Amino acid sequence: MKKVGLKEIAEYVGVSTALVSYVLNGQAVEKQVNKETAEKILRAAERLHYRPNQIAKSLKLRKTHTIGLVVAEINYRFSTGITRAIEGEAKKNNYTVIYGSSNESKDKFEELINVFINRQVDGLILVPVENSEEQIRFLQKAEIPFVLVDRNFPDIKTNYIALDNYKAAYEATAYLIATGHRKICMVNYKTTLFHLLERKRGYMDALKDHKIRFNSKWLLEINVEHLPHALDNVLTAAEPCDALFFATDTLALNGLKYLNKKKLKVPRDVSVLSFDESDAFELFYTPITHSMQPLEEMGKLAVNTLLELINHNKINKQINLEADLIIGKSCKEK
């Protein structure tokens, strides 16, 4: 069933979305909305099964000096790092952050947004999940201040602070090539998330620009539970890969566990490069080469962009930051 928003009610009654917003936010008298029109809007909202709990207490009515933050998975190093950065910057501006984890679930993502709206937060900072475009469009229509962080949807023009994932993956792959690797396997999730697709594009373009033959068997797009079987295939093949480029730290950690189990040594038997770092890398016998995201800068920009929106400044910011490639000892010079 299609979600009903302000636009649908406005079209049903034949009035503007602003008028609908005034009525549903309890501002009909203040904005001098005709009583009969207000009643029509309320009846239409009921008839169309509009869910008032999502917008009944509009974020624009008054400031509570709170920000709602939704991260993807609270135990990701990225999530803890970005949360810490956002909390620090928010505190400097006398704001409190309340946050929750979507666990990469579209339903949980939507539920958390509704909870924060009903708590009357002044705005939202969101790490969106796969297939959550409808919820993002709802926030736009409802004119709720929000900023996307880490991930964005190229078909939806929103304010976002993210990484230049294409460039970071390109440079990581180019580094492996510069150290003599020619059989580079990328391990990525099977996904439609734009930032992960950009990492794949960066990897493929780096191979192409350096005139290295692309082998489709060396591009693994999998769910994490299929990782051991997939790595078996590329490491025991007649032509095995000589480097593993993991698109996320979670994939890298699971890959390192697999290599340990198989008694394969890094970098003697295979080189390893990770997109993002993990605290667990410190426990590994070899420092892992990885792309490091500027979480502090990302968090500060997210907060300050949101505060501009909260203060009713119409801004249009799409910021793509650069990663640093941290050289460890996991990539063998060939």
CA-to-CA distance for 150 and 302, rounded, in angstroms?
Answer: 10
As a whole-number percent, the residues of the chain with pLDDT over 70 amount to 96
Q: 79 versus 181: which is more confidently predicted?
A: 181
Give the predicted TM-score (pTM) of the model. Answer: 0.80
**pLDDT at residue 1 above 60?**
no
HSE at residue 57, side-chain half, CA atoms within 13 A, is: 14
Q: Find which of 32-41, 64-73, 177-186 is predicted with most confidence, using mean pLDDT.
A: 177-186
Which pLDDT value is given to residue 52? 56
Which pLDDT value is given to residue 57? 46
Same fold, 66-163+295-322 and 165-293: yes
Mean pLDDT, residues 119-136 taken together: 94
**pLDDT at residue 313 above 80?**
no
Asked whether 139 and 113 are in contact (CB, 8 A), the reply is yes
Asked whether 246 and 275 are in contact (CB, 8 A), the reply is yes
Which pLDDT value is given to residue 67? 97
Which pLDDT value is given to residue 53? 46
Quick: pLDDT tens for 52-99: 544 444 444 467 899 999 999 877 788 889 999 999 999 999 999 999
CA-to-CA distance for 58 and 116, rounded, in angstroms?
Answer: 11
Domain positions in the chain are 6-50, 66-163+295-322, 165-293
Q: Which CATH number, 3.40.640.10, 3.50.50.60, 3.40.50.2300, 3.30.930.10, labels domain 66-163+295-322?
A: 3.40.50.2300
CA-to-CA distance for 78 and 93, rounded, in angstroms?
Answer: 23
Give me the CATH code for the 165-293 domain, please: 3.40.50.2300
First to last CA, the chain: 57
Which pLDDT value is given to residue 278? 86
Read off the tokens for 334: 């060939």
